[in-house]
Amino acid sequence: MVTTLKKAKRMIAKLATIVALILIASLSVAGCTSSTNPATSSPSPTPTPTPTSTPSAHNTVLEKTVRERQNEWLVVSDYTVESRVVWHSNHSVTMFATQTRSEPEDVLSGNETLIAFPTTQDATNYLNAFDKSKYSLVSTTYNSTHDLFPVVIDNLQTYQQWHYLVSSSPLKEVYINQYNNIIQIQKIWETKTNEPTV
């Protein structure tokens, strides 16, 4: 009986050693094969946005819209505008802007996320799955008076605009728009800098 118990302990020790060696070998191989060259690797979609300054591989509609938005920010006459653009992937971008006016003193902030889907139906499915219980449908027909910051797109065939007024004073609102295969989510809020934040 003692001999059988010793044999069992030796077998367990050997098995544990083999498992440990396999684990070490697999981690070593994984470490060797996962090296990347930052100059040639493409951005991978991650939950944390990664800013980039070379949009050459980005969706062309998103690129055009980002350029148009940056041009619009340059011509705001009575505001000082601070902005930045964050590409999440080749098919998703968020633009941030803060407009400050000194007379009367106020700050209008916003962000706009654009997501390019492979097809219009994919974008429609995304929008249909979105919880819009607090939103009201503004329009399914594009009208430039409804849309202050349109996506730059040719041949618009599918359009929806949804609106959620969180607060009217100070202003806090969200728009969700569909332009064919592009979903646009705009958040706008006003912060009066002369009022204390509680």
Query: pLDDT: is 136 or 13 the higher one?
Result: 136
Q: pLDDT for 94-140, tens place per residue?
A: 998 888 877 667 788 888 999 999 999 999 999 999 999 999 999 99
Average pLDDT over residues 49-75: 73
Structure tokens given for 132: 């819009």
| Position 39 pLDDT exceeds 70 | no
Interatomic CA distance for residues 72 and 67, integer angstroms: 9
The model's pTM = 0.65
Q: Sorting pLDDT into bands at 50, 70 and 90, what band is 75? A: low
Q: pLDDT for 21-36, tens place per residue?
A: 333 333 333 333 333 3
- Amino acid 175: pLDDT: 93
In 9-57, DSSP assigns E strands to none
Residue 52's contacts (CB-CB under 8 Å, 6 or more residues apart) are: 43, 87
Residue 175's contacts (CB-CB under 8 Å, 6 or more residues apart) are: 161, 162, 163, 164, 184, 185, 186, 188
The most confident of the ranges 6-10, 16-20, 31-35 is: 6-10
Buried b / exposed e along 12-22 (16+ C-beta atoms within 10 A):
eeeeeeeeeee
Query: pLDDT: is 185 or 53 the higher one?
Result: 185
Q: pLDDT for 144-181, tens place per residue?
A: 766 666 777 888 899 999 999 998 888 889 999 999 99
Taking alpha carbons only, the member of 117, 128, 118, 102 closest to residue 193 is: 102
Interatomic CA distance for residues 174 and 24, integer angstroms: 51
Structure tokens given for 61: 């509609």
> Is the omega angle on the peptide bond into residue 196 within 30 degrees of 0, that is, cis?
no
Query: pLDDT: is 41 or 6 the higher one?
Result: 6
Interatomic CA distance for residues 72 and 152, integer angstroms: 13
In the chain, DSSP assigns E strands to 80-89, 92-101, 106-116, 136-139, 159-168, 171-179, 182-191
> What is the chain's alpha carbon radius of gyration, rounded to the nearest angstrom?
26
